[in-house]
Structure 1
């Protein structure tokens, strides 16, 4: 990394653990503190659109969206000014926090930022039987559980392929989850914008509202918190799309492909030079095998949150 534009370091660059896709470091210099993200270029699931995302981030920052100041971006490194704040636990947030997230989304969707039309989505994968066989042959600790869910994973892939998206499509963050948020004096700060792009509005709202209204599983969903996100979105100038399964298809599809990506990393059986460590990939696979079937089979129940 060439970080000379950030000033003279006042100490060593420190690894910040916890990233699910890339690697993060903190660097303190005579010009301040910076978050340095080393992008995974070895087996990333999408092409990183550096220029588009950086332009979008700058427009959002200039519009007053609470987020780290974007400093620079290259094909393998993203730099933002370091922001202090409290981590947001994977648990229902307060109604006020959820409402403000909704308002922020409304403001983001009102930004007029040029964006090329090319999709960053890969086709949905249907090779789950083959992966399960490889997991069994290589002695993966979760191989038997994986094999028991093959039909469900194929059904999920079919749902992702065939679910109708009513539109409109908006330019948005696409990944507002507790682990991509901070709380500063009780108010939100949005982190990790590199997945930004075009997305069906219902998918963005459903993914965001559900992630803020529940804990790690689906046993503690707070409908009032889910609704607070939507109320905030309307207050921020947004218009809600019609209810339906499309509100949750992006969340389900993204988790499906994230699980597959980590399965492939586990099948490789070695620590990669970038991205999450092997232990975190195993944990992500187990989370997907436990959580995805439950999320999918409770889709009808989740749709009642929209009524």
Structure 2
């Protein structure tokens, strides 16, 4: 097997055999942020693949390892996608949400942590390169946590992929292929659509958001038979909460100061922590501007 670097949560390998090539994912069991529903996610993936959702064929899954058939394609850059590509993603989500698959679990979302003052103090004590920036934004991070926990979700709740981001997409002959289904579960529809549309309509920061691309995702969803939920801040609460939890998780890995045997390398956790410390306050401050995309 050949290691494929760059995973934000787990470790990936390519296995070439006389029966074809496979993506073998070693799950991080040491410090997971959520309970991974192996059997249920695999069943959902099989149903999606059978329904023609563009994705790698799921081969096998157990508590340690996931295996999919390898798909050749180009990585989707973190930049605004073409409108036609965004439209197709919307259609894919509508088809996915229409699948009749039983899911015996509630939402993956958990209350946002409130230990940001303690994390800032530990970061300063251990000399983290982003310690001063975190300390200056502690009150903002506490406000973000309150927003995530109190923002009203209008529903409906759908069974979905939950993480349609550029780094979970391939481009094959100009069309999308949806990867990395581990976060699949029940999610408020507005949170799924807002997170997906915004991630595909912007670059790494928030200086170049393309409203036309954002709307193309929603137009594709309606074209695929979906119904849009009411406008409001809930469209972005899931994205903000997910990034908040991901940032905290990487901060804890950095504070431990050791190279873990599973999950992302320490250098990647440092990069993710810094991106979150700098980017989350910017995203939160621009929430009214983002809501204007829904009008």
Normalised-by-shorter TM-score class: over 0.9
Where do residues 126-205 of structure 1 align in structure 2 (5 Å cutoff)?
126-205=114-193
Matched, 1:211 2:172: no
Q: Following the alignment from structure 1 to structure 2, what is the Cα–Cα distance between the partners of residues 226 and 29?
A: 41
Q: Partners in 2 of 1:121 and 1:35 — Cα distance?
A: 28
> Hey, what's the Cα distance between the residues in 2 that align with 1:122 and 1:103?
29
Q: Deviations over 1:63-113 (max 9, x none)?
A: 000000000000010000000001100000000000000000000000000
Q: Which of 208, 227, 232 is 1:239 aligned to? A: 227
Out of 241, 256, 259, the residue aligned to residue 271 of structure 1 is: 259
The ranges of structure 1 where at least 4 consecutive aligned residues each deviate by more than 4 angstroms after the TM superposition are none
Quote the Cα distance in structure 2 between the aligned partners of 1:229 and 1:100.
7
1:295 maps to what in 2? 283
Partner Cα separation in structure 1 for residue 265 and residue 239 of structure 2: 23
Question: What is aligned with 2:84?
Answer: 96
Q: Post-superposition shift, 1:217? A: 0.4
Q: Which runs of 5+ in 1 are unaligned?
A: 1-12
What is the alpha-carbon distance in structure 2 between the residues aligned to residue 248 and residue 14 of structure 1?
Answer: 37
Corresponding residue SS for 2:183: coil
Q: Take 1:35 and 1:300, find their aligned partners in 2: how far apart are those partners?
A: 41
1:123 alignment partner, one of 98, 111, 120 = 111
Q: Across the two proteins, how many residue pairs are aligned to each other?
A: 295
Match 1:72 to one of 37, 60, 84 = 60
Q: What residue number does 1:5 align with?
A: none
Per the normalisation by structure 2, the TM-score is: 0.99
Structure-2 residue corresponding to 1:108:
96
Q: 1:17 aligns with which of 5, 19, 24?
A: 5
- Aligned: 1:49 with 2:37: yes
What secondary structure does 1:183 align onto? strand
Show the counterpart of 2:218: 230
Q: Which runs of 5+ in 2 are unaligned?
A: none
Q: Is the 8 A contact 2:107 2:187 kept in 1?
A: no
Partner of 1:101: helix, strand, or coil? helix
CA RMSD of aligned residues (A): 0.6
3-state SS in 1 of match to 2:134: helix
User: 1:6 corresponds to which residue?
Assistant: none
Alpha-carbon separation, structure 1, partners of 2:75 and 2:157? 30
SS in 2 for 1:79: strand
Of residues 1, 8, 17, the one that matches 1:29 is 17
> 1:203 offset after TM fit, Å?
0.2
- How far did 1:139 drift? 1.1
1:298 & 1:259 partners in 2: Cα distance? 19
Partner of residue 239, structure 2 = 251
Counterpart Cα distance in 1 of 2:82 and 2:135: 39
Deviations 1:221-244, CA, capped at 9 Å, x for gaps: 000000000000000000000100
Q: In structure 1, how many angstroms separate the alpha carbons of the residues matched to 2:155 and 2:5?
A: 37
The answer (yes or no) to whether the contact 2:25–2:67 under 8 Å persists in 1 is: yes
